[in-house]
């Protein structure tokens, strides 16, 4: 697994066998990581916008983690 981007205590983007995995630090009192695989649309947005897209997606995941739990890897 290769680390592509990292913002400490925020998110890390990994590449593993062609898949992009985004690990986001979530929670308030109890802190946990939520890792999802980027889908095709998210990969296209990352290709267009780069790190700014990943930061925005990480924020969405952090503030609404329940919406991403089904995608957890």
Average pLDDT, the chain: 96
pTM value is 0.94
Tell me: pLDDT of 35 over 90: yes
Which pLDDT band holds residue 40 (cuts at 50, 70, 90)?
very high
pLDDT of residue 31: 92
Contact predicate 20/14, CB 8 Å: yes
Q: What does the block give as tokens for 60?
A: 């969405």
Which pLDDT band holds residue 29 (cuts at 50, 70, 90)?
confident
What is the SS3 assignment for 2? strand
Which pLDDT band holds residue 28 (cuts at 50, 70, 90)?
confident
């Amino acid at each position: 697994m290769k680390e592509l981007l990292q913002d400490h205590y925020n998110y890390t983007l990994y590449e593993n066998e062609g898949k992009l995995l985004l690990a986001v630090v979530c929670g308030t009192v109890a802190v946990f990581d939520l890792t999802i695989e980027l889908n095709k649309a998210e990969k296209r947005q990352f290709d267009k916008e780069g790190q700014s897209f990943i930061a925005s997606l990480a924020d969405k995941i952090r503030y609404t983690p329940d919406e991403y739990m089904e995608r957890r890897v």
